[in-house]
Amino acid sequence: MDEAAVRDRLRTVEDPELGDDIVSLGLVNDITVDGEQVDIDLALGAPYSPTETDIAGEVRELLLEEGLEPDLSASVPDRDDVANEDQVLPGVKNVIAVASGKGGVGKSTVAVNLAAGLSRLGANVGLFDADVYGPNVPRMVDADEPPMATEDETLVPPEKYGVKLMSMAFLTGEDDPVIWRGPMVHKVITQLTEDVEWGHLDYLVIDLPPGTGDTQLTMLQTMPVTGAVIVTTPQDVALDDARKGLEMFAKHDTVVLGIAENMSTFSCPDCGGEHDIFGSGGGREFADEHEMPFLGSIPLDPAVREGGDGGKPTVLEDESATGDAFRTITENVANNTGIVHRRGVSQTRRNEAASADR
C-alpha cells in the first residue's frame, strides 16, 4: 500500500466535532510508507483529550486491519513553524487561563482540579498561580517545598500530583501581604513564567486573579494563551461579572473554551433533598446566551472545601459524584482545546488550497 492508498483509507476516519473526515479537513500532516511500516503525523494539538485519543486510536486500528505497522505522531503546524527563540514558552503546547469576573466563585478550585485532572489523564501539566495578591494554590495541593534555583538563576518548580507548580506564595512569607503597583506585577509575572524551567508541558494551567486588572492584561499581552475557562456560580451577581471577563478575552482575541458553573446544587445529606442555594442553571444559560460551550456544573459539596483545605483535589477521588463533575469539565476543556487547534489548521489549509486554485 502506497501513500495515496493510505491517504484514501484515512478518509473513513471522521472528526466527530468538526463534522468531516480528517483528510478533507487537512489534519493529516505527513504520510511515509516503508514496506509495512507507516509513519503518520496528525494535526492534533490537545494531548490526552478523549476526542483526539479516539481519532488516533481509529487511525491506528484501521492501519492494523490492513496489515500495516502504524507509528503515529502529532503536531500543530502553525505553532511548530514559529522559531523556538520567538516563543515565550517553547516547550509548552497549550496555555489555559482560568478566570472569573469576581472573587469567591471557586476559580482556584477549578484551576487546581483542572490541572490535576489533566495530569490524571496522562498529560504533562504545569500550574501557575498568577493570583499575586492572594496565592492559594500551594495550600490546595499541600505543597510546601519551594522551587530550586539553578546556576543560570532560573527556577525549578516543585511537583505535586504530577503537576509542576509555581506561585508567589513560594517566594513570600506565609502571612506577608503583597503590596505592589502594576509595573511590579508585570515584572514578577513575566519572571515567574519565562524564568521557570517548565520543561515540556502538554498544558500549562494559569490561575488568574479575579477581575480584569494588570495581571490579566500582562498574561494576555505576553503569553501564547490557547484558550480561557470562565468560572461562575449560577447567581446573577456572578454572571454580571463573568460578562466582563468574557469581554476582556474578546478584546484580546483569546478563545473562550467554555463556561464552568461552580456551586450549582447542594444535595442535603440529612433530608435527601436538593437545594439551589445560589440559583439554578445560570451558568448554562449564560453560555447559551453568548454561544459559548458549557463545560459542566460542580455541585456545592463540602468535600470540595475539605479537598482544598486538605491539599487533595476532588478530581482525584474516584468514588465521588463531585469528582466525576470535575473530570467531565477536564475532558471538555481538553476536547475544546483540540477543536481550537484542528479548526485553525483546517481553515489555514483550506485557505491555502483556495489561493493555489486562483
Instruction: Provide the pLDDT for residue 183.
Output: 62
Confidence of residue 197 (pLDDT cuts 50, 70, 90): very high
Confidence of residue 316 (pLDDT cuts 50, 70, 90): very high
Which whole number is the average pLDDT over 283-298? 88
Which whole number is the average pLDDT over 237-244? 69
**Three cell numbers at 97?**
487561563
Which whole number is the average pLDDT over 148-158? 88
Instruction: Provide the pLDDT for residue 80.
Output: 47
Instruction: Provide the pLDDT for residue 229.
Output: 94
DSSP structure string for 242-302: HHHHHHHHHHTTPPEEEEEE-S--EE-TTT--EE-TT-SSHHHHHHHHTT--EEEE----H
Instruction: Provide the pLDDT for residue 273.
Output: 64
3-class SS of residue 166: strand
Instruction: Provide the pLDDT for residue 81.
Output: 46
Per-chain mean pLDDT for the chain: 85
Instruction: Provide the pLDDT for residue 152.
Output: 84
pLDDT tens across 326-347, in order?
999 999 999 999 999 999 999 9
pLDDT tens across 10-61, in order?
999 999 999 999 999 999 999 999 999 999 999 999 999 999 999 999 999 9
The CA–CA distances, whole Å, from 332 to 20, 65, 229, 264 equal 20, 30, 11, 18
How far is the C-alpha of 114 from the C-alpha of 273, rounded, in Å? 28
pLDDT at 278 > cutoff 80: no
- Give the residue among 76, 72, 21, 70 at the shortest CA–CA distance from 44: 76
Q: What angle do CA 317, 319, 322 make, to 5 degrees?
A: 65
